[in-house]
A and B are shown apart, each in its own frame.
Chain A
Amino acid sequence: DAGITQSPRHKVTETGTPVTLRCHQTENHRYMYWYRQDPGHGLRLIHYSYGVKDTDKGEVSDGYSVSRSKTEDFLLTLESATSSQTSVYFCAISESGFRPRNQPQHFGDGTRLSIL
C-alpha cells in the first residue's frame, strides 16, 4: 500500500468551528489531492497541489482552503464548518515527475467528518 496517512480518521464537531484534516505521505510524490465522497455524487475534487506551496481549486472548493508547506503534508481546512460539509474526505497522491499524465492515484483510507 502507498504510504498515505490521514488524520484524524473520525471527527465530530459543531457548526461554525474550524477543522483541519491532515494528509501525510512517505512516497515523495509531487501531486496531492483532497476529495469528498457523498452518496449520489461519487468523489468530487476539492483542491489539489502540484508542489510545495502550489495549489489549485477543484470543482467543490467553496468553504475549503489548503496548504502545503512540505512535500509530505497537505492540509485541508474548513474555516467555519457547516452541516453541508459532513462527508468522508479522501486524500490521494500521484507520481508525476515532469509528466503528470497517465499516472494512477493512490488513496488514503479517509476521514469521516460529522458536523452537527
Chain B
Amino acid sequence: SQQGEEDPQALSIQEGENATMNCSYKTSINNLQWYRQNSGRGLVHLILIRSNEREKHSGRLRVTLDTSKKSSSLLITASRAADTASYFCATDAKETSGSRLTFGEGTQLTVNP
C-alpha cells in the first residue's frame, strides 16, 4: 500500500467547526508535507514539518507529527466555506534520492455554510 494514507477519505462539517485529518506512513522520513487542492486546480503547499519537529502552526492550521507512530494530523480551526477542498499529505522518505514526494489519496473536506 502507499506511503501517506489519509483518514478519513471524506469529511463534512459546518462552518466554524474544527476539521481534523490524519495521515499514516510506513518508512522513515525527512519531512512530511500537507497540500490543498481546490477542484480543477493544482496542489497548493500548506505546511512542511521536519522529522525532528513535533508540532507546527500556520494561521488556522496546526500540524502534528509522531514519528514513533508514523502518523501526522492536520487541524483546521474555525473552518470556512472556502476551506472546502481535498487535502493531501506527502512524505519525503529517507530512502529516496533528491526531493521526491509520495502522496496519499487525500481527504475531501466539505465545509457547509
Residues in A lying within 8 Å of B, measured CB to CB: 4, 31, 33, 35, 40-45, 48, 50, 56, 58-59, 90, 92, 94, 96, 100-110
Residue of B42, B98, B105 near A108 (CB, 8 A) is B42
Residues on the B chain within 8 Å of A94, using CB: 99
A102: chain B residues at CB < 8 Å are 30-31, 48, 50, 92
CA distance A42 to B91 in the complex (A): 13
B interface, size bucket: 20 to 34
Residues of B contacting A106 in the complex (Cβ-Cβ under 8 angstroms): 45
From A44, A96, A104, give the contact of B33 (CB < 8 A): A104
Shortest distance between the CB of A18 and any CB in chain B (Å): 25
Q: Given A102-B30, A104-B48, A109-B41, are A41 and B105 also a contact pair (CB < 8 Å)?
A: yes
Q: Point out the residues of chain B lying under 8 angstroms from A56, CB to CB.
A: 97-98
* Nearest 7 pairs of A and B residues by beta carbon: A107-B42, A100-B99, A104-B45, A42-B105, A43-B103, A107-B43, A42-B103
Q: Cβ of B104 and Cβ of A42 under 8 Å apart?
A: yes
Contact pick for B100, options A42, A48, A109, A110, CB 8 Å: A48
